[in-house]
Amino acid sequence: MEVELAGIPLVVLPGTYRRETLARRPSGPVRVVVRSFTRAGQALQRAADRYWSSLGAWPVWDGQGLRAGPRLVEATAPANWPSGSPAWSGIVAPEVHLVAGNRQWRLAGTPGSGYSGLTEVRSLAAAVVDACQMGTRLLLTHGSAAQVSSIDLVANTYTTSFYQNTARLIATDGQAGYLVPTTAGQDDRVLRYTAATSSTTLLLDAPVRRLASHAGFVWALTRTALWRLKGTTAELLFTFTPLLNQDDGAFLVGHGTALYTWLSGQVHRADTTGSVRGWTPTGPRGLATRGAASAGGYLWVVLQDAVSGRWQLWATPGRLATLQGLVLDWEREEPWYLLEEWTDSGAGWPVAVGGRHPDADLLLVQVGTNGLLVGQAVPRPGSPGLRSSFRVASGLAVGLPLPSVPWLGVGAALAWLGEGGASAVQARVGWSADAGASWSWGSWRSVGGGAASGFVVLEERFTMPLESPALQATVAVSGVTDWSPAVVGLWALAGGAVGEGSGGSASEGVWLPRRRWQFAVQLAPPLLRDSGGAETRDGGTLAAALWELWRSGAVVAFRDIDAGVGEDCLVQVVGLSERWEGIDVRHARRVDMELVEVG
C-alpha cells in the first residue's frame, strides 16, 4: 500500500493502516451564541480581537445586532441661510423653529407629513452666537453686536434687549437666563437675569468655556472646573488640569444622565448622578469637531478622523444611570456607532428638530455647499428612514502564541424578526489578512424578501487555507429600502490548535466532520513500491522530511491509498513516533504517523 504526503511517496507497513473519524459527531443540543455589539463598543483601536467596527450600522435588540442606520437626506438650504454656520432650535409642539446667522426659520409643511423645507420667519438684531430655550421662549446672544434678544415661540413675537447686556454664552435652569457677558475681564462670571435689568453675579474660578442647560440646572465649564448653577447658588462639582487646547470645550451637551464635552481631541463624559465626579474619555478621537447634539434618543457628534482626515458622524445611545449603578458607581460600557464618513468637506453642527415630521429628528449643515442634511433617528410607520447600505467588521482574530494560523474561512449570521419586507437585500462576506488595508470579497447573495422573520448564515470557505498571523472578517449589506436584516454574528474559522486567547471572549470551538489517519512507514530495510520497484531514498533523509512536516505544522496535500490523481485532501502531521528495532542501525527502522484532516 502506498500514500503520498506533501508530494512524498510513502510505502505503508502492512497491517498498520487505519482511517477513522477524528471525533464523534455531537448528538446533543448545540449552543448558539449571539454576539453582542454593545460591550466594548466601536473598535477605536482597531487592533484588539474583542472589538468590532462598523459604518452606517445601528443597534437593535439592546445591541444584540446591528442593522442599517439612519439615512441622511440632502435638502436645499433656504435663501439667506448662513453657509457653514451653527444653528439652534426651539420646539413648542407641533412647531419647530431654528435660528442661524441673523435669521429665524420654522419647519414648513403639515405636522405628521414628511420634511418639506424651512420657511423664513424674520430677521434678527444680529448674528446669533449662542441660544437656549426657556419655556416657550428662545433666548439669543449676539456677542458684542447686540444685547440679548428673545423670541416668544407661541405668540410669534421678537423682543430686542430682552436682557440689557451683551453676551457670548447663555443657558437657563427654566426660571432665569444665565449669561457670560462680553465685557472685558468678566469672562469668569455668570450673570443670572430674571428681568431686563435685574441680575445677580455668580463669580466662578476661571474663564467660562461653555454653558449648557440640562436636567433643570445650568452647567458651566470653565478652564479648570465644572460648576452646577441653580438660582443664586453655584456648586463646584469637580476640578481638572487646565484646558490648554483652543477647542477644548468646543461643545457641552446634556444627554441622559450625563454631560458630554470635547477635551484633548476626544469626546468625554461626566455623570450628573452618583458619587463619581470627573471627565471620562468615552467616545472617538479626532483632529477637530463640528459640534454635538442630543436628538431622537441619541447623542450625535461630528468630528474629523485622526487617521484618514475625513469628517465623520458618530452617535451613541449613551447609558442611563441605574439603581445598581448609582450604588456601585458602575455602569455598562457605552457603545459608539460610526454612521457616516464623508470624502468631501462633509457636514457639521447637528441640531435637534424632532417632533413635527416623522422623517426629521436631526439637521446638519453641509460644508462647502448651500445644503442641509436631514436625519431620522429611528424607523417609524411609513417612514423607515434606513440607510441603503452598511458594513460591520470584526477586530483582529489571532492565534497567539502561534506565529501563523491556517484560516479556513469567514462567516456572518443575519436575522430579522417580524420586520421583513417584500424585496430582498444583498449581502456578502469578506476578509482581510493585512489589518484592513485591503479586502477580499465573496459573492453577493440575496437575503430575505417576503418572509417576515428569518435567519441566514453566510459563509465563505477558502479553497486552500489562508496562512496569516491574523484575519479580519466583514459583512456588507446593500439594497436596503423599507427593512434591514441585522448582523448578529461575525467570525473567522481557523484550523489547527487555536486556543481560547485567539479570539478573546468571542472564540469558540467548532465541530467539523474531519478524518484521522494512523499508519507506519518502514524506513529500513526498504519495502517495494506499488509499481514493483525498489525504494532508493535514504531512510534518514526521509525521516528528516517527515519530522520537518510535523515541526512546521504545515497544511499539506495527502493522497490516500484508494484515492486517484487529483483527489487529494489537506492534512496536518499531528503526531510522529520513530522506532529502531534491533541492535544494529541496519535493522528495522519505522516511523508511526498520525494525520488529521484540515477543513
Mean pLDDT across the chain? 87
Q: Which residue has the higher pLDDT, 505 or 495?
A: 495
Q: Which residue has the higher pLDDT, 28 or 121?
A: 121
| Residue 38: pLDDT over 80 | no
- Average pLDDT of the residues in 166-174: 97
Model confidence over 381-395: pLDDT tens digits? 889 999 999 999 988
| Residue 94: pLDDT over 60 | yes
pLDDT of residue 327: 47
Closest CA to 251 of 216, 223, 291, 281: 291
- Average pLDDT of the residues in 312-336: 66
pLDDT of residue 400: 62
pLDDT of residue 63: 78
Alpha carbons 41 and 343: distance in angstroms, whole number: 24
pLDDT of residue 401: 59
In the numeric block, the cell 477513522 is attached to: 20
Alpha carbons 499 and 496: distance in angstroms, whole number: 9
Q: Which residue has the higher pLDDT, 349 or 257?
A: 349
SS3 186: coil
- Average pLDDT of the residues in 73-97: 93
Model confidence over 423-465: pLDDT tens digits? 999 999 999 999 889 999 999 999 998 888 999 999 999 988 8
With 0-12 / 13-18 / 19 or more C-beta atoms within 10 angstroms meaning exposed / middle / buried, residue 44 is middle
pLDDT band at 318 (very low <50, low <70, confident <90, very high): confident
pLDDT band at 503 (very low <50, low <70, confident <90, very high): very low
pLDDT band at 587 (very low <50, low <70, confident <90, very high): low
Cell matching residue 578: 520513530
Cell matching residue 281: 474619555
CA angle 331, 334, 337 (to 5 degrees): 165
- Average pLDDT of the residues in 485-489: 92
Model confidence over 357-379: pLDDT tens digits? 999 999 999 998 889 999 999 99
pLDDT band at 31 (very low <50, low <70, confident <90, very high): very low
CB contact at 8 A, 36 and 66: no
In the numeric block, the cell 477524528 is attached to: 22
Please tell me the least confidently modeled range out of 98-102, 123-127, 585-589: 585-589
With 0-12 / 13-18 / 19 or more C-beta atoms within 10 angstroms meaning exposed / middle / buried, residue 550 is middle
- Average pLDDT of the residues in 254-272: 94
Q: Among 32-36, 180-184, 552-556, which range has the highest average pLDDT?
A: 180-184
Tell whether pTM > 0.75: yes
